[in-house]
Chains A and B, each alone.
Chain A
Amino acid sequence: MKLTGADILTRFLADEGVEFLFGYPGGAVLHIYDAIDRQDRIKHILVRHEQAATHAADGYARSTGKPGVVLVTSGPGATNAVTGIATAYMDSIPMVVITGQVPTHLIGNDAFQEVDAVGITRPCVKHNFLVKDVKDLALTLKKAFYVATTGRPGPVVVDIPKDVTADSVDYVYPKEITMRSYNPVVKGHTGQIKRAVKLMAAAKRPMLYTGGGVILDNAHKELAQLAKKLNAPVTNTSMGLGGFPASDKLFVGMLGMHGTYEANMAISNCDLMIAIGARFDDRVTGNIEKFAPHAKIIHIDIDPASISKNVKVDVPIVGSVSDVIKSLLREIKASEFKPNKAAAKGWWQQIDEWRAVECLKYKTDGDKIKPQFALETLYNITKGDAYVTSDVGQHQMWAAQYYRFDKPRRWINSGGLGTMGFGLPAAMGVQLAFPKATVACVTGEGSIQMNIQELSSCMQHNLPIKIVCLNNGFLGMVRQWQEFFYDERYSHSYMDSLPDFVKLAEAYGHVGIQVTKPEDVEAAMKEAFKLKDRLVFLDILTDPEENVYPMVPAGAGLDEMILI
């Protein structure tokens, strides 16, 4: 039976197992929206701005592991989506974004709402397609999902001109696809696995440094086995938090610019670093010359281009993280590997000394709410089991430090691109995927205003998100840098003319609570989280002068931290 391109699209998405389509209508996608109205297999989630559609799909993808799917119109619809696409690209999140396009005969004519969506998105997608003939539509969509979800995942854009959505052709769901130009490696090289295990056997001060790749590949169980086997300390990047339980005694916290003292010191002193699904980002390494200066490095990553990009490694292993760790565990067993107990004792003693510094301790001040205290309270009230999305800035780092994630896919933040405005729409995607779960959006008064219009979407779709806004009246991270490095010249980092967030939440039909005193934080949070079916906006007025510690200043080595 012949179907229009628009009907093929909705049928395909349903056949592909897509639950939610995050989008916003417009001229070029009107046929598609008409087709959406004719079916009930996929649910469309209307947002208030296309950027939020991409972040919501992103939050859905990060929390479920399934690809997030977005539909936007041509022109401004596509350009508004770009920030969200770039956010997903930097963090390797599987996403398929369908952009409407002007009819094929008008392409290149500067038609109304025309942009070169394929050209604009090219540097921030894993791949993109322009569909010029309805005959190619189903297969192109299949390719898009295949590319987005395999290998190192990432966003894929499919640009569909309006006439293609009106034309008709027979539809058959393409179950399988192969592409001669795209064959991601899965299995690690046997010789490299053997070499890696030899280094592990010889190591006296081994260390595991793991990133988002462990979470993307669902390799947390394998990682836990490897860590136990090696009796090695584990540090996570911000993207990798939850990939290893924070409550495990082998965990030394996050590393990098705002990493713990023990993690950064262990990195600086280890003799073997096993990097897994992490990419040696500049926020992680600090001064690259001083990074892990005594260590041999094993680097496991699915993306060959990530290996030896920033740091030259000794044993690169390209492959799926879970598959490679399994091979390592088999090889460890086969090689009668024995950890060096005496060396391990000394190494752990040293680590415990670093831990005793208690770098995350903070000064309390009677009448000011410390942001760290607010996040510790959040952790306690939610029993450490909430999905926590965050925006970008100081609150993000404090959440990463003080909310101790024991499970993967619970910590949802824009690590690579650092996109303010990510938190609330991402929380929408998470709450849709897990309607009964507790979802907290940790944000600041700066970030929340970058996508605050989504409070309306939350009302429409009944999303009882708890917004924990650490309101210090400053763009805190900018203020902190200005304090440290610009002689306290606070140029434009003060948030003037703030709205009354309680009234604002109420105006959108939600509940707003303002907290001004430390002794009220716990009660307010308890009250908020008790309201299971309401969105609550907690406006928590925190100490405006608090800084994030430890801090590795730009250009310094990880062992040159500023402690409180």
Chain B
Amino acid sequence: MKQKTKTDEEGMRHIISILMENEAGALSRVAGLFSARGYNIESLTVAPTEDVTLSRMTVVTWGSDEIIEQITKQLNKLVDVVKLVDLTEGPHIEREMLMIKVRTSSNDSREEVTRLVDIFRGRIIDVTATSYTIELTGTGDKLDAFINAFEKTPILETVRSGISGISRGAKNLHI
């Protein structure tokens, strides 16, 4: 998947939440649509919902209003798509989870990492003699800031979940 940072002329960033039939191939239909029509994907996540017959997918994309309109129309046209909403059209919450493994071979570095984890309200979830693994949840910006904060501590590995989103208030994406 093409990774790109957004700029103003490339249009607004949108978070599109999709409820789809939990069928084999549903994910590839969405991914195939984006690549065939040349749409951008920043991140894409998918998992079953409380109703096991449905999956919920969150696609983060960007483009002009016309492109975003086409993206939502083309997604709606997929036979497996039950319903979708562009979360960025209203107040919403977005979250991403990061797991990061850093080298902590000295007491100093262990202390510094612990301080950073406290400041960012992360959690240390695994420890060895030479490394800490930290879990952090937040917006993409917050995760970026956290990663950038490790100036002296060598980063061994990072993994990010991609964005999940939900609208604020009682409004909901449901069938």
User: Please, which residue of chain B has its CB at the minimum distance from the CB of A312?
Assistant: B66
Q: How far is the CA of A534 from the CA of B70 in the complex (A)?
A: 50
| CA–CA, A398 and B51, complex, Å | 57
Contact partner, B79, options A179, A304, A309, Cβ 8 Å: A179
A163 to B160, CA, bound (A): 42
- Asked if A304 and B66 make an inter-chain contact with CB atoms under 8 angstroms apart, the answer reads no
Taking the nearest CB of chain B, how far is it from the CB of A239, in angstroms? 19
Does B21 lie at the interface of the complex (its beta carbon under 8 Å from any beta carbon of A)?
Answer: yes
Closest to A119 in B: B28
B22-54 contact mask (Cβ, 8 Å, vs A): 1 or 0 = 001100110010001000000000000000000
Rounded to whole angstroms, the CA-CA distance of A305 and B72 in the bound complex is 9
Identify the closest chain B residue to A156 (Cβ): B79
Residue-wise, chain A 117-159 has the 8 Å CB interface mask toward B (1 for contact) of 0110011001100100000000000000001000000000000
Residues of A close to B28: CB separation below 8 A: 119, 122
CB distance from B110 to the nearest CB of A (A): 47
A303 interface residue (CB < 8 Å to B): yes
| A180→B79 CA distance, assembly (Å) | 10
A240-268 interface with B by 8 A CB criterion: none
Chain B interface helix/strand/loop/mixed: helix
Task: Tell me the smallest distance from the CB of B20 to a CB of chain A, in Å.
Answer: 7
**Looking at the complex, which one of B24, B74, B76, B79 makes contact with A147 (CB distance below 8 Å)?**
B79
A178 at the interface (CB under 8 A from B): no
> Please, how many angstroms separate the alpha-carbon atoms of A119 and B29 in the complex?
9
Kindly state whether residue A181 has any CB partner on chain B within 8 Å: yes
Q: Within 8 Å CB of A309, what residues of B?
A: 70
Q: Does A364 contact B (CB under 8 A)?
A: no
Residues in chain B near residue A118, CB distance under 8 A:
25
> Does B81 sit within 8 A of A, measured CB to CB?
yes
Residues of A within 8 A of B74 (CB): 305
Quick check: is B145 within 8 A (CB to CB) of the other chain?
Answer: no
Shortest distance between the CB of A292 and any CB in chain B (Å): 18
User: B69 on the interface (CB 8 Å rule)?
Assistant: yes
B21 to A: closest C-beta gap in Å:
6
Q: Which of B21, B36, B79 has a CB less than 8 Å from the CB of A123?
A: B36
Instruction: Report the nearest B residue to A182, measured CB to CB.
Output: B79
- Which of B36, B73, B76 lies at the interface centre, i.e. has the most chain A CB atoms within 10 A of its CB? B73
Task: Establish whether residues B20 and A305, one from each chain, have CB atoms under 8 Å apart when the complex forms.
Answer: no
Collect the chain B residues with CB atoms within 8 Å of residue A130's CB. Answer: 24-25
B29 contacts A303, C-beta separation under 8 Å? no
B2 touches A (CB below 8 Å): no
CB 8 Å contact bits of A292-308 with B (1 = contact, 0 = none): 00000000000111001
B79: chain A residues at CB < 8 Å are 126-127, 147, 179, 181-182
Q: Is B70 touching A305 in the complex (CB atoms < 8 A)?
A: yes
List B residues at the A interface (Cβ < 8 Å): 20-21, 24-25, 28-29, 32, 36, 66, 69-70, 73-74, 76-77, 79-82, 175
- Beyond A122-B29, A123-B32, A181-B80, 15 additional contacts (C-beta under 8 Å) are A119-B28, A122-B25, A122-B32, A123-B36, A126-B79, A127-B79, A127-B80, A180-B82, A181-B21, A181-B81, A181-B82, A303-B77, A304-B77, A305-B70, A308-B66
A-B contact pairs, 30 of them (CB 8 A): A118-B25, A122-B25, A122-B29, A122-B32, A123-B32, A123-B36, A126-B79, A127-B79, A127-B80, A130-B25, A147-B79, A179-B79, A180-B82, A180-B175, A181-B21, A181-B79, A181-B81, A181-B82, A182-B79, A303-B77, A304-B73, A304-B76, A304-B77, A305-B70, A305-B74, A305-B76, A305-B77, A308-B66, A308-B69, A312-B66
Residue positions of A touching B, CB distance < 8 A: 118-119, 122-123, 126-127, 130, 147, 179-182, 303-305, 308-309, 312
